Structure 1
């Protein structure tokens, strides 16, 4: 089974790491009632690895200015 969110993410990544297309996708992901919270987190972590942002290192730490 293919997931439309995954297809859109792969299409954006195939297009020169199309971060401009990924940001709205990630913004809408947590509000999608068909996607479980764990899957949302996993998607964010997976795409973070592809983009090299290293955002998970901030989990559980105090807010940064």
Structure 2
């Protein structure tokens, strides 16, 4: 299953545009059923599924310029 993360809108969707909840994505990840995703989802997972930490990461990146 391919999952996309829109980090600005805090939304997740299955390839094709169908919305999916964070809890559903976490379950799929725990079952190793995500075959591909964008970098936003990879980062969200690396921050323990915490949107606030992901926002802070992007804010910090913007302030580096």
TM value normalised by structure 2: 0.30
**Greater share of helix:** 1
**Greater share of strand:** 2
Question: Which one has a bigger Cα radius of gyration?
Answer: 1
TM value normalised by structure 1: 0.30
Q: Which has the higher contact order (CA 8 A, sep 6+)?
A: 2
